[in-house]
Structures are given as C-alpha cells and as structure tokens.
Structure 1
Amino acid sequence: MTYDVESVRARFPSLATGTAHFDGPGGSQVPAAVGDAVRDALTSSLANRGVVTAAERAADAIVQDARRAMADLLGAAPEGVVFGRSTTQLTYDFARTLARTWRPGDEVVVTRLDHDANVRPWVQAAEAVGAVVRWAAFDPATGELTAADVAEVLSERTRLVAVTAASNLIGTRTPVAEIAALAHERGALCYVDGVHLTAHHPVDVEALGADFFACSPYKFFGPHLGVVAGRPEVLAPLRPEKLLPSSDAVPERFELGTLPYELLAGCTAAVDFIAGLVESTGDRRARIEASLTAVGEHEDRLCGQVEAGLESLPGAVVWSRARSRTPTVLVTFADHAAADAYRYLAGLGVNAPAGSFYAIETSRWLGLGDTGGLRIGLAPYSTDAEVARLLDGLAGFLRSA
C-alpha cells in the first residue's frame, strides 16, 4: 500500500509556511477539511439538540455522527463515547465520580510513565476519600513499563489502575491488554490514557480491555476537545454530579452543559480524514486501520533516520529506548541545554520543543528533573527532507553553542 506523503501534505494549509513541524505530540496541524467542517457547523442553522425543528435535529445529528466517528476510530461502542472540554477535564470528572465509590484503605494505581493528567486527578481523588495511592515504576534504563511492574503494586484492595497506552515524553508503548486483565482479575477498573497512541496506531478499545480510554482529537488533526470512550455497562451505575434537569442517559449524563457542536463536526471530519489517508476499501473502521497502519510504517521509517542521525551528533543522549514505542524521541545534549536547541531550531523554521510536557513523573524518574529534554515527534505529514533539516540544524547548533 503506497503512502503518498506529498498528497497528504497538500491538504494542510499551515504547511505552506515551510515550517517543519516535529511538535505533533503537543498538537497536530489541521487539514482544510476539518476547518471547513467547523466553519460550516458554526454558520449553519443550529439550535440546542431536539426533535421538533430542523435546527434542533441538525445539532443532534452532529452529536450522533461524532459519537459514531470516534467509535469507529477507537473500536468502541458509540453509546459509551463521552465528550468534554479536554481530556484533563474529563479525567478529573471521572476521578471525582469514581472516588465516590471508594472507601478508606482502597487502593488506586498510577504509574511513573504517565502524563500528569492521568496521575494527579487520581492522586487527589484518592486523598480526598482516604484511599491509598500505589506507584508502578518503569525501568529508566530501558524506558519499559511491564505488566509485572504493575502487578507488583496490585492487591485485593485495588479499585482502579490508571495507565498510559504510550508515553508522551519518550514514546514507550505499554502492554495495556495485559495490565487491564490483571486489574480485572482483582475486580478493579482500568483507565487508559490513549492521547499519545491514538495519533499513530490503530486502537481497539475492546481488544485492549480498557474500561475507559481517553484521547484528544487535536492530537490527530481535530479541534481542541477531549473524548473518553467508556464501556457502557461500566458507565451505567456511575452517578456524577450534574444539573437536575440535564439528561440522565448514558453518555449524556457525563457531558456537562451544551456540547460544542462545531467542534464535534470537526471531530467527525478529522476521523474521515484519517480514513482517507490511503486508498483502501471497506467500512470506515477498516479504512482507518489501513490508513494508520500505513502511517505507522511511514513514521517509523523516519524515526529510524532521526535516531541514526542523533547517534552521530557529539554529546547527544537519546532517552527513548523502549522496543515498542511511538515515533517520538527525547534527546538531551552534554553541556548544552535542550531549551537552547529548541530556540535555535525555531530560528531555522524547525519546530521541536523542549520540556517535560506535563510528564513530570517520567522526567524526574529518568533523572532529568523538571527540565526534560528536546522532544522530536514524527507525524503523518513529516518528510525525509524535514528530517534532514532537523539533523542539520542540530549539528549547526552543537557547532555554534
């Protein structure tokens, strides 16, 4: 299957500036089709969802279309797709709701590999009800988090395991299915942060065994909002705080206030865009899988070029070492600050930011403190020429610094 990166790039207006974007892990560029969908929804005849007027029905159709689109992307049930302002906000909401079912002495497991949005909400919710937080640590030498690492901190009192599907800092992919199975053996739920994985690989929430799978459409060509795909049977007994007149149906029960219809329209457009990245047949789910498989091959090839180039740079230390990971590389430089490299590259029109990117526990566990390093993220629109620009820029930085 041929992946035509130039054809893909032609659909992103922002790429016409000539900037090389290695900042996708913080938010991707947006294709014209998504912007058009947002604009069209904003300027169309819409009202609050209902069944009486055409405007009401149009709003409802946008919501239902977005639920089906996200279900196709994630291999989840549409009736379990919850929308919110951001993944962080949704995780806080679910943490507070689930904590109402915990008792003092119950245990919650978080990991040192996770973005803080899948750590702090659980830590704070546990503290509020007297539950115990148990930490699963990864191997800093390899970047690997294994199911055995998580098993070490599980007990009969475990009520929830929060784990990332892929580290947003060093790219490590985790054995989510194994970890979820271990959690379920102890009667616990598994909340998966899939924000960084969803942009790069096909996701099958059912196969992973996740009770909740969180992601952010703006990481995969969509607008700024958050999504949690929960198993409907797990969502049904949960009772979040909500307004009295608001719907008590699942998943509306978890969506506070009026949904941003224009952003949901953009979300559907982003999923359709992914489904059309390569020529393939079948339903939307099948086309998504074909596209993301091709994207993964493209990105992994370029990531190999980045890693080989970094090996030739004096003093470069690569921290992304796991065997299975996303095309994401964290690098530091002996005697040179990553933040200085970030600024130098920006002057060349190459965007590769520096920091710990809210993965504060990961950065500290690696011995990088709160500073982190230079993060290089490959995207479906990245090219060989851009990788060469990046590596030439870093070589120039090290010569000039």
Structure 2
Amino acid sequence: MITNSPTLTSDIRNRFAHVETCPFSGPRIFFENAGGALTLKSAVETSAIFAAIPDNQGRDNPASAALVDVITRAKADMALFFNSADGTFFVGESGTELSFRLIRTAIMGSAPGGTVIGSSIEHPASRSAALHWAKMAGKPYIDVAHNDATGQVTAEMYASQMTPDVRVATILHTSPVTGIANDVAAISAAIRAVSPDAFIFVDGIQHASHGHIDITSYDIDGYVVSPYKVFSRHGYGVAWASDRLTALPIETLKNGPIGNWEMGTRDTGSYATFSDVVRYFEWLGEKVSDTTDPRAKIEAAGKAIHDHEQTLTDAMLRGIGNLPGLADLPGVTILGGADNPDREGLVCFALDNVPASDIVDNLNDVGIRTHIRRADHYSGNILTPLGLDAAVRVSLCHYNTLDEVRSLLAAMKDIAD
C-alpha cells in the first residue's frame, strides 16, 4: 500500500524531520535507521513545549495537574501500543539502562539457586546485564548458541538447553546487526513448558519501529524499547514490567509508593513524545485501512510497514531493473542469508574485495548514510563466527523509498566494480 502510493509516501515523509537533508552535511539518503530513526516533527514540537514548563508533577496547582494528566494519558497510549491490559509502564534513562534494571530485579529477586538463560545473538543491553547479575547472584548462565547462517535463535534451541531450575530468561526480539527477528511467543512458550515460573525479559529495541508489538501474546515479564529508534527522541527509554516482576523487591524510596519503578521526577516530555508516536501509528493505520478501533489501526499500520519494508529489502537484495542487488555482488556475504523471511528492514553485508569501512566512506561521499558494524563488544558475537572483522549495515524504515534503494544499488555497483 505504501509502496504503490506516492501521495501516502509524501504524506509520511512530511511528518518527519530531516528526511532528505542532514543539518550538518547537506542532502543525503538516510539508511541508518537502526542507529536511530528519523524523528516525528510532532515529537520535536512537543519536546520544546514541555522543556519550557517549570512545574513538576505532584504539586497542588493547575500546571502540575496537567502534567500528571499527560503522563496518565501516555501510559494508556503505551498500553495500547504494546497491547497490554496489565503491568506497569515507566520511562528511564535509556533502553539499555532499563534492560539492566529489569534484568537485575528479576535475577536478584528470584528464588535462590537456579540458573539464567539467554542467547548468543543478544545485544549487550540484555546479554551483559544477564551475565553480570547472574554472576553476582551465583546463578550459572546458560548460553543458547544462535544459528550463524540465519542470524537468529529458535524455540527449539532454547528448549534444548532448558531445565526446570531456570529462574530468568532473556530474549532478543530483533537483531540490530542481522535485522532478523526471533519468534518471541514461541521461545517464551518453550521456556514456560519447562520452567513455568521463570521471569522472561525481551529486548524490543530494534523491533519497535517495524510495527506490531503484542505483549499479551508473549507471556513475558519485561519488555523494553528505545523511543529514539521508534520516531521519538533521545534521552529516555520505555519499559513494561509485569505485575509479578513489580512485586519483587525493587529499588524505590523508603516509605514511598509500593511498586514505584520511577526514581526522581520524570520528564513529562518523554511521556508526551511517546504519545506522539502512538498518534502517528493510528494516523497511518487510518490511511491504510478502514478500521476505527485504535488498536486495529496500530496493527494495520504495522502490517503496512512490514509489507513496504519487505518490498524495499527484497529490491535491495535482488536488484531493480538493470541494477544488481546486494546479494548479486561478487564475493558478498549477507548476514542472516539473502532469503530469510524474518528480516525486518535491515540488510547487513560484507564484500571480499572491498573493506566495509571503505564502502561506508564511499557511500557517504555520494550522500548515502549507512553504518559500519565491527567485531567489537557490540557485534563480535555475530561477526566473528562468520570470519568477518566488519560489515556494512543498511537499515531502513517505511519512509524510505524504492528510488532511494536504486541510488544505493547504483552506488554499490560502482564500488564493487
């Protein structure tokens, strides 16, 4: 629907800031969305409004009451977007910080003994937290090895390592290196089949911008996103915690409200700008469907986003017209495989004869923004087993176009030649 509608594409792009031009380097095509998506203009305006308000929540004055109302509405919007009827939503410093807090709470608050399980595909936001706090709690860490060829982990892989004494499990929804999604609901079911009382945490940071989060269907205890990767701004993260996770001993002010995850006065603008994100998904859902139900609008938007991004990544991999796709370039390695049906808006690749750093530099020179992933503490778990010291990440969102993909492929043809 988005791909075949120039008018809708134009309307979508008009809602975002700096779509075609970088304020520092000038005109460019933005294929670095996994590092931080474009920002909604509405979120920029909302940020300015709330940054200027001197009042805080919890005071006996009209401004304070208005701020509390904004936060209350935002938490309802979060419940709508994540599809959760219970649990607690709150904001923190970042997605990584919130991941550490939820995982720490689960591991340190779970029953003595037992183990912690996670997978080698995970981003350090969850993996480092689980490894650190498992060690601190004296709970052995079970490492589920991912499939190097597909760049993902399956329910069967988790099941093969599960034992009844697993206390905490972590799952990556989508990899920011391979772009491949994992089946969270199936993995969660495999965990619960063996250890029904385990606390299950999901890193949804890379997945969120590609649409369709459904916490109700996952049977989990924690889910975290970074709003700057889902059309809002930097400076905060959003977390959801189940009631049973919140019931554990959490760090909070003595004699303060029970179950309060928030420490100190929160930025109302953080909550308000996430409401802007939800309103945008509803708007897009109205454009691509006839539904009037708010949640159905979000689901329709998610499907349209998925379909459009699949069209773009298929073209990126297989080519357009006489332009060869990335998968057709000589000596290419496509992380996750060129035909992986679980790919979400991202292609990461390497060429045998051109260093990844040179590719990124050459693309920058012609106004195409991509990113290098190196075999470091962020990506070494994925690149090193493939014998790669670096790779080029091309990450897109639904506001990107086939014309932009053509420009990328034309530039890559010259670089490869």
The normalised TM-score by structure 1 is 0.92
1:9 alignment partner, one of 8, 13, 37: 13
Q: Deviations over 1:342-396 (max 9, x none)?
A: 111111111110114824322334333xx44111112011001110111111122
Residue of structure 2 in register with 1:385 after alignment: 403
Q: Does 1:19 align with 2:28?
A: yes
C-alpha distance in 2 between matches for 1:258 and 1:339: 42
2:151/2:382 contact within 8 Å kept: no
1:244 Cα deviation after fit: 2.2
Say which SS state the counterpart of residue 254 (structure 1) adopts. Answer: coil
Residue of structure 1 in register with 2:83 after alignment: 75
Letter of the aligned partner of 1:304 in structure 2?
D
Q: Does 1:156 align with 2:174?
A: no
C-alpha distance in 1 between matches for 2:112 and 2:383: 31
1:301 Cα deviation after fit: 0.2
C-alpha distance in 2 between matches for 1:386 and 1:214: 31
2:109/2:249 contact within 8 Å kept: no
Residue of structure 1 in register with 2:333 after alignment: 317
Say which SS state the counterpart of residue 174 (structure 1) adopts. Answer: coil
The normalised TM-score by structure 2 is 0.89
Say which SS state the counterpart of residue 229 (structure 1) adopts. Answer: strand
C-alpha distance in 2 between matches for 1:42 and 1:284: 29
C-alpha distance in 2 between matches for 1:157 and 1:317: 39
2:83/2:215 contact within 8 Å kept: yes
1:33/1:273 contact within 8 Å kept: no
1:193/1:215 contact within 8 Å kept: yes
Q: Does 1:335 align with 2:373?
A: no
1:25/1:219 contact within 8 Å kept: yes
1:117 alignment partner, one of 99, 117, 125: 125
Q: Deviations over 1:7-55 (max 9, x none)?
A: 11122230241321111111101121111111122224x5221262111
1:150/1:179 contact within 8 Å kept: yes
Query: Structure 1 residues 392, 246: CA separation in 2 closer, same or farther (over 3 Å shift)?
Result: farther
Query: Structure 1 residues 240, 42: CA separation in 2 closer, same or farther (over 3 Å shift)?
Result: same
C-alpha distance in 2 between matches for 1:134 and 1:68: 36
Query: Structure 1 residues 144, 89: CA separation in 2 closer, same or farther (over 3 Å shift)?
Result: closer
1:87/1:215 contact within 8 Å kept: yes
Q: Does 1:353 align with 2:371?
A: yes
Aligned residues: 392
Say which SS state the counterpart of residue 394 (structure 2) adopts. Answer: strand
Residue of structure 2 in register with 1:137 after alignment: 145
1:103/1:129 contact within 8 Å kept: no
1:115/1:360 contact within 8 Å kept: no
Letter of the aligned partner of 1:261 in structure 2?
T
Q: Does 1:254 align with 2:293?
A: no
Q: Does 1:40 align with 2:45?
A: no
- Please give the root-mean-square deviation of Cα atoms over the aligned residues, in Å: 1.9
1:103/1:131 contact within 8 Å kept: no
Residue of structure 1 in register with 2:384 after alignment: 364
C-alpha distance in 2 between matches for 1:79 and 1:63: 16
Say which SS state the counterpart of residue 288 (structure 1) adopts. Answer: helix
Residue of structure 1 in register with 2:213 after alignment: 203
Q: Deviations over 1:187-240 (max 9, x none)?
A: 2121111111111131111112222111111111012221111222x2332112
Q: Deviations over 1:252-285 (max 9, x none)?
A: x211111111122111112211221242432322
1:66/1:267 contact within 8 Å kept: yes
Residue of structure 2 in register with 1:229 after alignment: 240
Say which SS state the counterpart of residue 157 (structure 2) adopts. Answer: helix
Say which SS state the counterpart of residue 14 (structure 1) adopts. Answer: coil
Counting aligned pairs with the same residue, the percent is 26
Say which SS state the counterpart of residue 67 (structure 1) adopts. Answer: helix
Flag structure 2 segments of 5+ consecutive residues without an equivalent.
Answer: 22-26, 319-324
C-alpha distance in 2 between matches for 1:125 and 1:236: 18
Residue of structure 2 in register with 1:191 after alignment: 201
Q: Does 1:300 align with 2:310?
A: yes
Residue of structure 2 in register with 1:55 after alignment: 63
C-alpha distance in 2 between matches for 1:333 and 1:16: 27
Query: Structure 1 residues 245, 105: CA separation in 2 closer, same or farther (over 3 Å shift)?
Result: closer
